[in-house]
């Protein structure tokens, strides 16, 4: 019975304590935006940490140089192997120069070789750990200044001067311009501290020389980086543009083929509709089921013609005009050859096999392929002679259009239409499940060989 009053008293105490708690004044303090200068400083320090402190001694070996260029590709196997390591040889040579400069400083005993080693190690380290080589170079510079007695310049002894300058240049080449800027600023800070705090015995400081020479070297590397990045970006854009142009050309060729085949299919569907309408009148007293079947065939043929016209409207270009004449066939090939001869191309036609009428789609594609091949001969091989061969075989039609080398140098052509005709030919051949080869001949001309299969009605059934 005594626990209930105690529990109520506890709840009252907790409630009063909760209600009397106050919120700190700064809990709802409005957010004060940082200034642009503060954000720039924070980003700069973050970049410094990322470039020179984070994974500074990570293993990043310098890869061999590619030897697939036009000039290096002509070298022999052994010389090509040497050329692949040319950059490593240059860096090692610069390290040897720094070591010789340290040895020529006049240090005797063990100090001379030690200073030479301190000048060589940072340079060689740039080949495997580039950012770490910068810090090692600063440490080696300090060690050389402490153990050496070359006081005519401070804080860089001759070997350290060459070594640190080489390290700055190589690391800047292997990283990026922002890292080069940070290295130069840290070098300037190191020089200021060394010159101000520990340069009491020097007779002449070499800090201005180091800062000026390294600034020019890093500026040249930065310009090289910018030019290389710009060239890579331009190359990527040109590649993307070429892909888009090729894709657009392919779509244009497919649209052209679809417009041309519309006439062929529409002709066949019109024949079906007319024959379906006239068939009941050819039979005396046809049953109602037959009349209904022919009426259904005619309705479907008319509906198909309507849909074909709609499809043609979708693929029609803005400047497209419907042709007045029917689509050409192989029977019109002689007129085409006559026009080509009038344009200045000597061309002959050779036919093998028994000439027969082929499906209209096959004849149209064959005519267009010959037309495009002869146009390419006129465009790319002016003054050359051409030959058109048609082979009627049991399984289809063989085409071969070959021209000789140009009699004179062709005029310069735009690259925007390069390969347009070959693309159209391949699309027509692919549509008919045929085969095609195109390429230069041993005599310097060009040859297009095509086989278009033809399936008979019995074989299709």
pLDDT > 60? residue 18:
no
* Same domain, residue pair 454 and 348: yes
Helix (H, G, I), strand (E, B) or coil at 55: coil
**Does residue 123 or residue 270 have the better pLDDT?**
123
Comparing 50-59, 73-82, 105-114, 383-392, which segment has the lowest mean pLDDT? Answer: 73-82
What pLDDT is recorded for position 19? Answer: 47
Same-domain status, 284 and 342: no
In a domain, 395, yes or no: yes
Q: How far apart are CA 2 and CA 159, in angstroms?
A: 93
Residue 280 within any structural domain of the chain: yes
Q: Are residues 299 and 348 in the same domain?
A: no
Backbone angles phi, psi at 307, to 5 degrees: -65, -35
Tell whether the model's pLDDT for residue 240 goes beyond 90.
Answer: no
Residue of 422 and 12 predicted with greater confidence: 422
The domain that contains 422 carries what CATH number?
3.30.565.10
Residue 390 has pLDDT above 90, yes or no: yes
Residue 118 belongs to some domain of the structure: yes
Are residues 281 and 362 both part of a single domain? no
Residues 425 and 343 in one domain: yes
**Local structure of 27: helix, strand or coil:** helix
- State the total domains in the chain: 3
- Residue 381 falls inside a structural domain: yes
Angular region, 444: left φ>0, alpha ψ -120 to 50, beta rest:
left
Q: Does one domain contain both 340 and 263?
A: no
Q: Which residue(s) pair with 440 in the sheet?
A: 446
Q: CA-to-CA distance for 143 and 135, rounded, in angstroms?
A: 12
Length of the chain: 461
Average pLDDT, the chain: 80
Asked if the structure places residue 57 within a domain, the reply is: no
Confidence of residue 379 (pLDDT cuts 50, 70, 90): confident
Instruction: Look up the domain containing 275 and give its range.
Output: 251-315
The answer to whether position 229 is within a domain reads no
Which residue, of 149, 172, 205, is where some domain finishes?
Answer: 205
Residue 171 exposed, middle or buried by CB count within 10 Å (0-12, 13-18, 19+):
buried
DSSP assignments along 104-167, one per residue? TT---TTHHHHHHHHHHHHHHHTTT-HHHHHHHHHHHHHHHHHH---TTSBS--HHHHHHHHHH
| 419 and 339 both lie in a single domain | yes
Does one domain contain both 76 and 201?
yes
Same domain, 268 and 361: no
pLDDT band of residue 314 (cuts 50, 70, 90) is: low
């Amino acid at each position: 019975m005594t626990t209930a009053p105690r529990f109520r008293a506890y709840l009252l105490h907790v409630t009063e304590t909760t209600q009397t708690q106050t919120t700190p004044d700064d809990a709802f303090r409005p957010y004060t935006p940082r200034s642009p200068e503060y954000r720039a400083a924070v980003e700069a320090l973050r970049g410094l940490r990322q470039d020179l402190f984070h994974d500074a001694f990570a293993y990043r070996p310098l890869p061999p140089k590619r030897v697939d260029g036009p000039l290096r590709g002509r070298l022999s196997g052994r010389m090509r192997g040497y050329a692949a390591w040319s950059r490593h040889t240059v860096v090692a040579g610069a390290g040897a120069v720094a070591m010789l400069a340290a040895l020529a400083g006049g240090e005797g005993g063990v100090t001379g070789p030690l200073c030479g080693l301190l000048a060589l190690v940072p340079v060689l380290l740039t080949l495997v750990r580039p950012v770490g080589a910068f810090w090692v170079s600063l440490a080696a510079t300090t060690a050389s200044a402490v153990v050496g007695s070359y006081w005519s310049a401070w804080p860089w002894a001759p070997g350290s001067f060459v070594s640190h300058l080489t390290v700055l240049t190589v690391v800047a080449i292997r990283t990026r311009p922002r890292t080069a800027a940070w290295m130069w600023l840290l070098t300037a800070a190191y020089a200021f501290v060394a010159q101000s705090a520990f340069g009491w015995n020097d007779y002449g400081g070499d800090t201005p020389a180091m800062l000026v020479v390294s600034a020019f070297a890093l500026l040249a590397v930065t310009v090289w980086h910018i030019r290389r990045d710009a060239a890579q970006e331009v190359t990527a854009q040109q590649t993307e543009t070429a892909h888009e142009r090729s894709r657009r050309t392919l779509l244009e060729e497919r649209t052209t083929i679809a417009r041309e085949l519309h006439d062929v299919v529409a002709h066949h569907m019109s024949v079906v509709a007319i024959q379906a309408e006239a068939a009941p009148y050819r039979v005396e007293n046809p049953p109602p089921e037959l009349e209904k079947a022919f009426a259904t065939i005619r309705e479907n043929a008319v509906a198909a013609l309507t849909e074909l016209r709609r499809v043609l409207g979708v693929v029609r270009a803005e400047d497209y005009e419907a042709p007045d004449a029917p689509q050409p066939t192989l029977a019109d090939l002689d007129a085409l050859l006559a026009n080509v001869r009038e344009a200045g191309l000597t061309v002959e036609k050779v036919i093998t096999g028994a000439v027969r009428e082929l499906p209209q789609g096959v004849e149209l594609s064959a005519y267009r392929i010959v037309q495009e091949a002869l146009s390419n001969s006129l465009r790319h091989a002016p003054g050359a002679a051409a030959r058109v061969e048609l082979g009627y075989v049991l399984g289809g039609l063989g085409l071969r259009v070959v021209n000789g080398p140009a009699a004179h140098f062709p005029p310069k052509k735009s690259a925007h239409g390069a390969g347009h005709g070959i693309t159209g030919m391949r699309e027509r051949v692919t549509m008919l499940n045929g085969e095609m080869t195109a390429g230069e001949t041993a005599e310097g001309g060009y040859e297009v060989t095509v086989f278009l299969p033809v399936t008979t009605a019995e074989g299709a059934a």
